Structure 1
Amino acid sequence: MTSPVIRLDPADTVVVAREDIRKGTRIESEGLTALADIPAGHKLATRALRRGEPVLKYATVIGYAGEDLAPGTYLHTHNVLVDEIQKDYRFGQDYRPAQLLPQAERETFMGYRRADGRVGTRNVIGVFITVNCSATVARKIAQYFDEERLENFPNVDGVVPFIHQQGCGMEQTGEPIDLLRRTLKGYIQHPNIAGALIVGLGCERNNLERFFEATALETGTMLRSLRMQTLGGTAETIRQGRAMVREMLTEANRATRSPCSAEHIRIGLQCGGSDGFSGLSANPALGRAVDRLARNGGTAILSETPELYGIEHTLTARARDESVGRALLDRIRWWLDYTEGRDVQMQGVVGPGNQNGGLANIVEKALGGAKKGGSTGIEAVYRYAEKVDHSGLVLMDTPGYDPVAATGQIAGGANLICFTTGRGSCFGSYPAPTIKLASNTPMYNRMKGDMDINCGPVIDGTATLEQMGDAIFRSILDVASGQRTKSEALGVGAEEFAPWPIGVTG
């Protein structure tokens, strides 16, 4: 019979409940009896622990016993305390470069080849804004091109407005406005964007002149711009914008899919609504797929820096060299300063959904979240929305908030997002589609309309991580070739464009 608990490592002092366990249940595989009701996904002690003794999961310290604990004790936020954990950074000692397959043996997908060598997984016209004052105009331009009006353009995947809340009333120099412009430029030049229209008001700090000067972008047939104040206002800008998009649609529709090496796939790795099963099923299964992608020359971007805090020493050990490892530590220190004294998870306490799902603190959450990155060595560390130009596994500094994090990854060049969830996230994204991976079968069955892949069989004992990783990798190739994800079918993703609003608004 399948054990009611899951042991992750022989050295662990905890096991995870595979199912709800009643008080008094004998767990023969561990030689203990549950001393309390244990919800599915939560932990119990496997041996006696003295107060202050490390609590180990995946052979990694996730906290310390807050009191003397007997075998079978329910372990959670009330008795697993976060303290200063001793960390051995071991820069580069565990680095393992991807074992690249010969070019002729690499997997392929059907992608859109751009003239400059980039490859897209979608073919989208984007309507962008320099400032929120032009948001309604951009939205009305894009919404005009509904399914009926796009019937004559079968090779175009949609006209999408990319709306944000910034562009004026913000710091005029320095990182805040640079970050916004870097994000917009990354989307405008994205391989999934066939053409772009940029709409500005005219008097904003991030006006069209300054934006084009700062980004070195140049207008042309497939990059147009409109200034509302020059045109006389809302109605005329909408009219001219629709005409410009209609012209770009004709050109964009000439693009067709052709066989492309999987080395052109770049995945943003995301997790949201994590639970106690995320780090056991969906995340490590995705990690197996990432290792396969890396062997095929592709790229995966691990982000959400605050959700890597506590286990960053395991990542510096996987860094290509000390400079890459220290670049990660620099971003960790920035976040510690940025969040000092603030009620955010970087200070140890995770969200209520995470806690209800079995995660005791940020260290345990980080330990599971990092599993998305597989075992491949870390090649580089990027700042938010910087262009990713390394292959293999890389890190990008982003907040933990999913829409903001994914926006940075897409701006950096991710042409797909893989998003794991235990509680049930309904996230989607444009122009890079999101594949959602459920960590457990009950949630998958409850939310089939939003979930693409059920990783629950790993928990149920009917599939291995290798088998699930292979299924995820095959799905990545299928979606990159045009198969629609659940979020795409629902039209979810345009409102989730969320550049990081760092800095002062005044």
Structure 2
Amino acid sequence: MSSPVVGKPVASTALRPVRVIRLNPADDVVIALDQLMSGTVLDGEAVTVSGLIPPGHKVATRDIGQGQAVHRYGQIIGFASQPIRAGQHVHTHNLAMGEFARDYAFSQGVRATVPSTEPATFQGIVREDGRVATRNYIGILTSVNCSATVARAIADYFRRDIRPEALAAFPNVDGVVALTHGSGCAIDSEGDGLAMLQRTLGGYACHSNFASVLLVGLGCETNQISRLLETQGLREHDRLRTFTIQDTGGTSLTIAKGIELVRQMLPDANDVKRETVSASHLTIGLQCGGSDGYSGITANPVLGAAVDLLVRHGGTAILSETPEIYGAEHLLTRRAVTPEVGQKLVDRIRWWEAYAQRQEAQINNNPSAGNKAGGLTTVLEKSLGGIAKAGSTNLVEVYEYAQPVRARGLVFMDTPGYDPVSATGQVAGGANLICFTTGRGSAYGCAPSPSVKLATNTALWQRQSDDMDLNCGEVLEGSTTIEQLGAVLFKLLLDVASGTRSRSEQHGYGQNEFVPWQISAIM
């Protein structure tokens, strides 16, 4: 899908120009950049608006019969549930999901990636084994929800805003964070759910952004620490310590033990320095949430342009949120480096169809209420805009949730669309940076990997700039292009990877957003 080009405002009989965007000549709709009033004439479209069209929403440019497909981005976004006249608002009242065939055309769109001749670097932390970190935390992980309270108490002891003296002598340590969850027991000991939780915890336990990790359990839980370590090929050592509340002697003694172990870890954790490393050491998780009708026009394509630059420099980008590429997967299978990689993606789509059927649910439970208020009608429409985050590069591999990402380039990881769950899987897979687009104003951060937030429109930027790192609404205003702002974003990502704190980090987001995916029955 090519990036849309925002041209001059379409002329009208109104007192001021009416701005709309046509994304593809084959589209049945244009997108309003301003609120359109009934009677407004879009001369460039030879259409008179009928009714009120909110900004970011769709207006029909031709008559569409009931049952006919409606196109945006040159692709199907749904089917008319009733006759639609040119000039009418196209949204949930007259547009619905429907079945249609996709041509997967495996690997037919693969093209050579041209490496960049100009090196891109950032100031990273090189671990002893060669892995490169963007942050330097000590982490407190839990095997089960029962040990969450003690884990948080251990981390809270080292909070700079409460007890600044605790880390005063360790300026190179970004903090001590507790990542707790609500699972770990009353779960099938041989099932996929426990295996997925163990894979997630294992990925965090050896994440490059953690200098050291404590893993705290209760003692009698299904998710035994010894089995967790065994399944993940981990062993206890000076930088990975484990213990349980029951063996330690209760809550107070466990908290005291954890605090003492962190104190012992701090000198080594502080003994690091940032050095110049290649951008090829960046693995960025791509997220979009609280989307609107502009997401696929501004922030997502801008992120896609930055992804193309990252891949040219040898880095890795992880596209995820499988239910939110549903209906657009055929545009990714064309870019799969082999038919086998493309089939892996289709297999994950089929799994989701079966999963939704078992739950008596519909994959079109997205867009959310906020997405719909912002102009997105169906998950097909959201998906088509969502894959713009992936740029135009080849799809080199497909992973299941929280699997270690080994490939370089654009990869896909199967995750839910819910942002905290999705990003948790990406970080477990090795993402050392998250890039998050939003049109409604999502409040999100991620530890131990910093999260960069992109606003899709200037109104959001002005209203909630306290949470945003970059305004992509400038694309709509014609003051910059997608490619130009993509280059700006790429530089921003290198700066954040070098230690510049993102907005979400400044606000302390990250610990509560650790949410492993739970798929098994809780007994």
Change over 3 Å in CA distance of 1:171–1:498 after alignment to 2: same
User: Aligned to 2:108, what secondary structure does the other structure show?
Assistant: coil
- What residue ranges of structure 1 are gaps of 5+ in the alignment? none
| Equivalent position of 2:268 in the other structure | 251
1:133-212 matches, within 5 Å, as 133-147=146-160, 148=164, 149-212=166-229
Any idea what the Cα deviations from partners look like across 1:316-372, whole Å, max 9, x if unmatched?
A: 111111111111111111111111175756136521111111011010011111110
Any idea what the Cα deviations from partners look like across 1:263-317, whole Å, max 9, x if unmatched?
A: 0000000011111011110001100000000000000000000111111111111
- Compare 65-74 and 148-157 and name the one that shifted more: 65-74
| Equivalent position of 2:375 in the other structure | 358
Change over 3 Å in CA distance of 1:80–1:18 after alignment to 2: same
Residue identity matched to 1:61? I
Q: Is the 8 A contact 1:122 1:157 kept in 2?
A: yes
| Equivalent position of 2:85 in the other structure | 70
CA distance in 2, matches of 1:15, 1:402: 29
| Equivalent position of 2:141 in the other structure | 128
CA distance in 2, matches of 1:96, 1:20: 41
| Equivalent position of 1:119 in the other structure | 132
Residue identity matched to 2:134? T
Any idea what the Cα deviations from partners look like across 1:66-93, whole Å, max 9, x if unmatched?
A: 3333321211111122211221110011
Q: Is the 8 A contact 1:98 1:291 kept in 2?
A: no
User: Aligned to 2:342, what secondary structure does the other structure show?
Assistant: helix
Any idea what the Cα deviations from partners look like across 1:218-242, whole Å, max 9, x if unmatched?
A: 1111111112111111111111111
Q: Is the 8 A contact 2:104 2:333 kept in 1?
A: yes
1:22-421 matches, within 5 Å, as 22-102=37-117, 105-147=118-160, 148=164, 149-340=166-357, 342=359, 346-347=363-364, 350-421=367-438
Residue identity matched to 2:75? T
1:456 to 462, 469, 473: 473
User: Aligned to 2:223, what secondary structure does the other structure show?
Assistant: coil
User: Aligned to 1:203, what secondary structure does the other structure show?
Assistant: coil
User: Aligned to 1:275, what secondary structure does the other structure show?
Assistant: coil
Change over 3 Å in CA distance of 1:459–1:343 after alignment to 2: farther
Residue identity matched to 1:493? G
- TM-score w.r.t. structure 1 length? 0.97
CA distance in 1, matches of 2:185, 2:463: 42
Residue identity matched to 1:466? E
Q: Is the 8 A contact 1:348 1:363 kept in 2?
A: no
CA distance in 2, matches of 1:209, 1:51: 60
Q: Over aligned residue pairs, what C-alpha RMSD do you find?
A: 1.3
User: Aligned to 1:443, what secondary structure does the other structure show?
Assistant: helix
Any idea what the Cα deviations from partners look like across 1:153-209, whole Å, max 9, x if unmatched?
A: 111111000101111111101211111110001011111111001111111111222
CA distance in 2, matches of 1:353, 1:497: 23
Q: Is the 8 A contact 1:439 1:454 kept in 2?
A: yes
Q: Percent identity?
A: 51
- What residue ranges of structure 2 are gaps of 5+ in the alignment? 1-7, 11-18
- Compare 169-178 and 475-484 and name the one that shifted more: 169-178
Change over 3 Å in CA distance of 1:343–1:362 after alignment to 2: farther
User: Aligned to 1:178, what secondary structure does the other structure show?
Assistant: helix
CA distance in 2, matches of 1:307, 1:15: 22
| Equivalent position of 1:482 in the other structure | 499
| Equivalent position of 1:2 in the other structure | 9
Residue identity matched to 2:222? R
Q: Is the 8 A contact 1:82 1:348 kept in 2?
A: no
Any idea what the Cα deviations from partners look like across 1:114-153, whole Å, max 9, x if unmatched?
A: 1111101000100111111111111000110122111211
CA distance in 1, matches of 2:254, 2:28: 64
CA distance in 2, matches of 1:69, 1:240: 67
| Equivalent position of 1:16 in the other structure | 31
- TM-score w.r.t. structure 2 length? 0.94
CA distance in 2, matches of 1:107, 1:343: 48
CA distance in 2, matches of 1:37, 1:482: 46
CA distance in 1, matches of 2:495, 2:362: 35
Any idea what the Cα deviations from partners look like across 1:22-61, whole Å, max 9, x if unmatched?
A: 1111112222211121100000111222333321111111
CA distance in 2, matches of 1:344, 1:291: 35
CA distance in 2, matches of 1:65, 1:230: 63
- In the TM superposition, residue 64 of structure 1 has moved relative to its aligned partner by 2.0
Change over 3 Å in CA distance of 1:201–1:439 after alignment to 2: same
Q: Is the 8 A contact 2:59 2:87 kept in 1?
A: yes
